[in-house]
């Protein structure tokens, strides 16, 4: 659970830094998500644990400030800003 908390915290920090530095509209933002679980929580709010609902609401508010627009399985941002969510699948042999 600590790794999931760290990943969620990192997403919040990245969005905050991006906005605070005034980079909106000046470059691309790519956030890679390594946890299938966190990725699914971002994609589908019904899958989120109830204890984390407020945290994901905060993430969505930050994403709205960066002007994320959902398009299929990806998020597209205005002002030439791209938000890419990737989920790495663990392959067991």
Q: Where are the domains of the chain?
A: 2-83
Residue 64's pLDDT is what? 79
Residue 18 has pLDDT above 50, yes or no: yes
Q: Which three-class secondary structure state does DSSP give residue 66?
A: coil
pTM beyond 0.75: no
* Separation of alpha carbons 82 and 93, rounded Å: 34
Instruction: Take residue 12 and report the two structure tokens written for it.
Output: 């919040």
User: Using the 8-state DSSP alphabet, how is residue 11 labeled?
Assistant: H
Residue with tokens 């890679």: 32
**Range of weakest confidence among 2-6, 39-43, 87-91:** 87-91
What per-residue string of b and e applies to 58-83 under the rule 16 or more CB within 10 Å gives b? ebeebbeebebeeeeeebebeeebeb
Which residues touch 51 (CB under 8 Å, ≥6 apart)? none
pLDDT digits over 50-88, tens only?
A: 998 899 888 888 887 876 655 444 454 433 233 333 333
Q: Which three-class secondary structure state does DSSP give residue 74?
A: strand
How confident is the prediction for the chain on average, in pLDDT?
70
5 band by pLDDT with thresholds 50, 70 and 90: confident
Residue 23's pLDDT is what? 77
């Amino acid at each position: 659970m600590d790794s999931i908390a760290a990943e969620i915290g990192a997403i919040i920090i990245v969005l905050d830094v991006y906005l605070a530095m005034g980079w909106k509209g000046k470059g691309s933002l790519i956030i890679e998500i390594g946890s299938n679980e966190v990725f699914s929580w971002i994609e589908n709010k019904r899958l989120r644990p109830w204890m984390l609902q407020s945290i994901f609401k905060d993430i969505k508010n930050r994403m709205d400030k960066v002007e994320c627009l959902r398009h299929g399985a990806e998020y597209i941002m205005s002002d030439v800003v791209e938000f890419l969510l990737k989920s790495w699948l663990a392959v067991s042999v």
